[in-house]
Amino acid sequence: MAAEDLDPVYGPVYREALDYAAKLHRRQFRKTAEGVEPTVPYLAHLLEVSALVWLGGGDETQAIAGLLHDALEDQGPHTSPRKLQKKFGPDVRRIVEACTDGAPGAVRDESTWLERKVSHLAELYSVDSDALVVIAADKVSNARAILDDDAIAPGEVWARFNAPRQAIAWYYDEASTALALRLPDNVVTLRALRLASLLADSAGGTDLRSCYSAMTDDEYEAVLRPLADAKAAAY
């Protein structure tokens, strides 16, 4: 059978989402180490996430959400949940919102990092199941990029983040643990687990408490309580 006689493996909405993602992120690069000129268009990350969603057994709606998973977080002034729903449907909107780190336009710096990450990790234990493969794909893409950059310029990659290196490794370790519970035996989850282990080695461990030694024990436990409660409910 000739190729032109085969049914398309993805539809026009996927192509529309690809065009929309390319337009939204057209001025954005992937992060690099301080002082290093960025050269990789952000679209490369979105394509990688979408590809991983397909590899993890996701459907077209989930793959579209993979293309758009950072639309609200990074391009909030140029789009909105309502626009995403109008263009791509309520399921894409819901999955993209589940992938978003904090509210669109929220402050994302060192002062909010731990609370934001704890909130996101806690949500992994209850988020809709169809969002999990997209979230897992995003974690895999980001963890791979960190390790690749660290291999090229050892130690320099960590300066791009709003948290110490062991806190970053802790975050990926916790995320992969949640994914292993909620999305077991999925190829993307298995990659997340392997990469989290490599990140922990690269960072010298996952000792979160030492990263926030200025906090009292009560303050530290209060910040982590939503995650502890989510784990207790899940297990």
Cα gap 66→132, rounded to integer Å: 11
Of the CA atoms within 13 Å of residue 203, those in its CB half-sphere come to: 29
Chain segment 212-234, per-residue pLDDT in tens: 999 999 999 999 999 999 999 99
In the DSSP assignment, the letter for residue 37 is: P
56 versus 3: the higher-pLDDT residue is 56
Structural contact between residues 172 and 124, judged by C-beta atoms closer than 8 angstroms: no
pLDDT averaged over every residue in the chain: 92
CATH number for the domain harbouring residue 21: 1.10.3210.10
Has residue 10 got a pLDDT over 70?
Answer: yes
- Range of lowest pLDDT (7-21, 45-59, 118-132): 7-21
How far is CA 94 from each of CA 123, 160, 229, rounded to the nearest angstrom? 13, 29, 23
pTM for this model (two decimals): 0.92
Q: What is the per-residue DSSP string for 2-21?
A: -GGGSPPSS-HHHHHHHHHH
Structurally, the chain folds into a number of domains equal to 1
Q: Which pLDDT belongs to residue 1? A: 47
Six-digit token pair at 172? 């990926």
Residue 160, exposed/middle/buried by CB under 10 A (0-12, 13-18, 19+)? middle
Phi, psi of 218 (to 5 degrees): -65, -40
Range of the domain at 161: 3-234
Structural contact between residues 201 and 157, judged by C-beta atoms closer than 8 angstroms: no
Q: DSSP alpha helices (H): ranges in the chain?
A: 12-24, 43-55, 60-68, 71-75, 81-88, 90-99, 113-124, 129-152, 165-182, 187-203, 208-211, 217-234
Calculate mean pLDDT across residues 89-108: 83
Cα gap 152→131, rounded to integer Å: 32
